[in-house]
Structure 1
Amino acid sequence: MTNLRIAAGDPAPDLERVLNASFASCRRHYDKRLTLERVLVHVIEDDGARAILNDCMPAGKVAALHGNMRTVVADQLAARANALKWPSGGPSGLRARLAQYMTIGAAKLDNLLERTISPGEHLQHAMLEATVRAINMASPVDLRVLLFAIVRHRIGLAASALEEHGLDRYRLACRIAHGAATEDAERDHAFAPGSDEARLVIFNDDYTPMLFVVEVLESVLAMPPAQAQACMMQIHQEGQADCGVFPLAIARAKLDDVLALARDRCEPLRAGLASA
């Protein structure tokens, strides 16, 4: 679990590689705005990120998403080009042609032609959310954390396109956090023969915020606030905690409620049942 606090974080090599490719693409197209959608194009081209998406989307949809994002980026670039006109009415593409053929004094030319590349609002939002998560995990900001942030917070056209192409948001969150969907990872435990009670166990992870765990304990398991806070800290410090003993049918129903809330909020909380 993570506390929410904001601090600076350095990108991991995979994210740095994708961002460098994204900036290079902007330069090739004389585009001074780096959008989250352009970055997603290069995220999909990364082998690791594409493998995760393939696990969480229907067959063939990742390739379709890649093509769709390339179209979105082209449309964005065309819209900005059409909005920029010289006072005489000449096309703004003249700037691109000048930049292509004039090589002397490149730095001054870049400034004159306003070719400084800046991140778009949605990209800044995604990087901020990814940094918050990564710093609290004491790890660099990598592609998995960035992808998690985009999906978890439904940021921009990038997140909308992912969902439109069949992405299972919760499965992706669990795949990034644990390597598998939570439903498959923890719920099936061996019970002692004849057992008619079960312990509901919640496990620690690096992605789920502490406040969400407290909310689960209070709303689903009806713990008083002080008890929920103490139980959350036990989970955080010891790796897991028993959160109640119930008749087996009730325990299973409560586990379903815990996982349903986690799915609804796209938090990869891990929980399961064990013999009482």
Structure 2
Amino acid sequence: MSFKNIISNDSLTYDDISILPDKISTIEHRADCDTSVEFLGLKLSLPVIASPMNTVCGGRMVKALADLKCLGIIHRFNRVDEQIAELEQYELKNNPYKAAAIGINQETEITRLKSLADFGVKIICIDIANGGSKTIEKFLNKINNLINEYGLKIIAGNVASSDTTKFLIELGVDAIRVGIGNGAMCSTSIKSGIGIGQVDAIIRALSAKEELKSDVKIIADGGINTPGAMCKAIALGCDTVMFGRVLAGTDESPGEVLKYNNQRW
């Protein structure tokens, strides 16, 4: 079945679909399940990536996930020396299970990228709201030599259509974040009117990947607020999921803890 044949105009979300249990399972116990996935040279124990938000993923979160053989992307909302200091604090220099976010402010972010690469970060997330932009093409052209010199893997996004997915695939990125306006803290669809249901966004991205016969990794980013939503994203064909809200309330997140009615939030 081709993904192109199941693109709808209904803006489907995770709540609109279910996984049909029509296969005869050979698994006898939940411990027999293999949840690992290959992702950009790493074997993740779970297909889980922490969103590069300043209330979700700092050095402590990267470390906690690395210990589980999962991936955290340290956020970019501080100076690069602070990013590196956090990674150093948790002894992550020689640990491959780490990634870092950068923006696309040309000179500043090129300096950030080089410093992170010198520290040993191999997976870089270009963290902008709209991946379907010529600015990202210009930026990738500027950093192409650094990508090749350090052997970097690039995550880019976000996209929500076939055409913008094709655009990033043709630019040569290694993984694409799919989803606009579905995250708990995402205001893009509210402020700009841009967005589509996450299931339809995923299907459109996978259709583009299929059409171009690409091996790019697809990350379902946003709307993952239950284990079932995560299962649906993987069942659709995504390689990993990215979430923030699920992790924001943990002790390892850098977000401020508030007390309300004797409960921590």
Which TM class, normalised by the smaller chain length?
Answer: under 0.3
Give the structure with the higher percent strand. Answer: 2
